[in-house]
């Protein structure tokens, strides 16, 4: 099964495409889509959209997986801005007829590391091991997106 995992963000949207079969994983593509505040919200969202459409067309994933939105009451603006990026991601899912799945961050961390409150370093380390990489994917947004994809394979028992 091909899985596109996404770590949504307006400044950096991490993505990772993996092939999962019998609890083994192969990395197909991973990276980050960067936007700049000076480009305005509409152009930033367009860039995220266009890049994700291109990924979907190139790799033909069967599912798109994202982390559920978590909003801390002290930072409501962050949640609102991330909501814009998530909306574009959902639109890509609908347009490309990809099943959309979302999991809470604690579920993703538990599936990948065995601990629901694992650190970024622990997540990156497990992603590195599970994908047989030489180094931990960087920046964290890439490792997080790959963790999202891997967690789906574990949760769905692919």
Q: Which residues have a catalytic role annotated?
A: 7, 67, 141
Written as one string, the DSSP assignment of 33-81 is EE--GGGHHHHHHHHHHHHHHHHHHHH--SEEEEEPP---TT-HHHHHH
Which value, to the nearest 10 degrees, does the dihedral of the CA atoms of residues 143, 146, 151, 152 take? 160
Residue where the block lists tokens 């979302």: 102
Bridge partners of 103?
Answer: 67
């Amino acid at each position: 099964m091909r899985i596109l995992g996404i770590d949504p963000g307006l400044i950096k949207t991490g993505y990772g495409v993996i092939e999962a079969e019998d609890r083994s994983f192969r990395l197909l593509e991973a990276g980050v889509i960067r936007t700049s505040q000076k480009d305005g919200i509409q152009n930033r969202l367009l860039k995220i959209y266009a890049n994700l459409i291109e990924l979907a067309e190139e790799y033909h994933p069967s599912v798109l997986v994202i982390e559920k939105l978590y909003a801390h009451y002290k930072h409501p603006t962050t949640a609102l801005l991330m909501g814009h990026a998530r909306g574009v991601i959902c639109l890509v899912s609908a347009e490309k007829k990809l099943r959309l799945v979302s999991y809470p961050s604690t579920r993703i961390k538990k599936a990948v590391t065995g601990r629901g409150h694992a650190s970024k370093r622990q997540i990156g380390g497990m992603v590195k091991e599970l994908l047989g990489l030489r180094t931990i994917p960087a920046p964290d947004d890439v490792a997080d997106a790959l963790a999202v994809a891997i967690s789906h394979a574990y949760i769905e028992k692919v």
